[in-house]
Structures are given as structure tokens and as C-alpha cells.
Amino acid sequence: MSVSASEFLLAELRRQRTLAGLTQDELGERAHFSGKQVSAVELGTRPPREDYLAAIDKALDTGGLFVRLWSDLVKDDAAPVWLREWIEFEREAVPLRWYEPADLPGLLQTEAYARATLAGVPLPAARVDQLVSARLTRQEILQREDPPQMLVVIDEMALRRPMVNHASVMAQQFRLLLDRARQPNIQVAVIPATAGLHPGLQGGFILATLPDGSAVAHLDQQVRAQVVAQAEDIVTLQGMWETVRGEALSRSQSLTLIEEVARPWI
């Protein structure tokens, strides 16, 4: 029976750990991940990331075997489990903390706004359709019976940045944003323009705290998105979260500001 590249990688992870005579907890300690994380990856319930595989390679002294398998085979697997890795983390998150300095978070966007943010990007129309569809599908977690707590910090300029010739798009978007911001499980905080320059302007990020207490982060970059989970990176981003949250207005003050900015549009 043939196996996919993804299944082969998981089997090899288990085999190499066993050959080294290590338990999942022991390997996790060496690689600076929890035993639960090692178990979840080996069982296929959590997608392995390249940084995780690099740490396992180092811990088991495999000469980069797992990173090579990932780069050469798994990324292009016809049926990979983890091409949607961040979506799975997003679905598990308790809570989800999202900071955006430039535009509104994808989970709070209308279809028209999402499409407008991609206008001018040198991508085929079919690819834009896929990206918009994926963004809208991700929003389904907010409609669940047990939606996650979502803590959002946005910069005031993200609210005030107009879309030329898109008045109806802005009106629809502000209505949705106000509706979401009033939901009990969603807190939206705005960093006022009076805050001036602050460290958060370097770029947005998302932090997902998972049920086992571990955390992963999503960095959306120009070329590709990146999922990170190394402890030192998470600590840095958690510190940055506290910084931007400290610059933001309270929930009620933020809602008042959003209503003020939205008034000319709606």
C-alpha cells in the first residue's frame, strides 16, 4: 500500500525517535517543545512546521533529514494535511490575539473589502478568488456555537485609510466591523493616531493560544505567510502584543472612535 509524503514523514519522525531511545517528553525537552506537541505531530493531529523539524533534526542529530523531507517532498504533496496549517491552529485557538497596523483583520472583512485589498496585486484572477474564498471560510469560526475569544488591536489609520471609488465597500465594511465589535467574544481596541510612532508599526501578527497552553504565531509577509512556534519568537511577539495593547484605547473608547470614523460612510 502506497503512502503519501506526509505519512512517510510522520512515520520517520516516530522511527528516528524510537531508534534514539527517547520518549516523546524526552525528545520534546531536547528540542524545546512539549511532549504533547511531539505527540500531536507524530499522530498527525498537528501539522509539523519547518522550524519544528529543524529542532528535531538538531535534537536527533539527523543531519537535516526532516527539513529535507519537508522541502523536497511534503510541501508539494498532492494531499498534504497541513497546507491549511494556520487555519487549523486558528480553529483551535483559545483565544486568538490579532494585531493589524495597515488594514482590518481578515476575520473581520467583508468579501468586497477583502477583494479590494487584493486589487492591484499581481496575481491571476483565479488566485485572488481562492484567497478571498479562503478568507471568508476562515470566518466561520466566529459563527460557531462556541466561537473563540478574539482580541483585536488595529491602528487608527487602518480605519481611516479610504478606498478610492469604493464608498459602498467602506459602508458595508464598517457595518460589519461595528457588528463584530459589539459581540461579547470579540474585543476590538484601536491605537489612536495621537500615539504617534510605536513598535507595532513594524508589522502585524496573530497569536493563537492552543488548548494545551502552547502558542503559535502567524506572520503575514510580502512573499509568503509564516507560522512560528519557537519559544523565543513567541515570547517576543507576546511582548509586542502587550506593547500595542498598552497603546490602544479601551474597548468602549475604541467603539466610539470606530463609530465616529464610520459616520461619513454609513
Residues 221-237, mean pLDDT to the nearest whole number: 81
117-139 pLDDT, tens digit per residue, is: 888 777 777 777 777 877 888 89
Total residue count of the chain as it appears in this document: 266
Query: Residue 80 has what pLDDT?
Result: 35
Mean residue pLDDT across the chain:
87
Q: Where are the domains of the chain?
A: 5-74, 81-263
Say how many C-beta atoms besides its own lie within 10 A of residue 245's C-beta: 16
150-168 pLDDT, tens digit per residue, is: 999 999 999 998 776 778 9
Longest dimension (CA), the chain: 66
Global confidence as pTM: 0.69
Domain 5-74: which CATH number of 1.20.1050.10, 3.20.20.140, 1.10.260.40, 3.30.390.30: 1.10.260.40
Q: Which uninterrupted H or E stretch holds 218?
A: strand 215-220
46-98 pLDDT, tens digit per residue, is: 767 778 899 999 999 999 999 988 877 665 443 334 446 788 888 899 999 99
Q: Which uninterrupted H or E stretch holds 217?
A: strand 215-220
Q: Is the peptide bond before 95 cis (omega within 30 degrees of 0)?
A: yes
189-216 pLDDT, tens digit per residue, is: 999 999 888 887 888 999 999 998 999 9
Say how many C-beta atoms besides its own lie within 10 A of residue 241's C-beta: 20
Q: How far apart are CA 173 and CA 163, in angstroms?
A: 11
Query: Which CATH code fits 81-263?
Result: 3.30.870
Which is nearest to 101 in space by CA: 235, 218, 205? Answer: 205
Same fold, 5-74 and 81-263: no
On the question of pLDDT at 102 being above 60, the answer is yes
CB within 8 Å of 180: residues ≥ 6 apart:
108, 142, 186, 188
Query: Residue 2 has what pLDDT?
Result: 52
| DSSP at 42 | H
Give me the sign of the Cα torsion angle 162, 98, 43, 19.
positive
Q: How far apart are CA 148 and CA 144, in angstroms?
A: 9
Query: Residue 198 has what pLDDT?
Result: 83
Query: Residue 129 has what pLDDT?
Result: 78
Contact 57/70 with Cβ under 8 angstroms? Answer: no
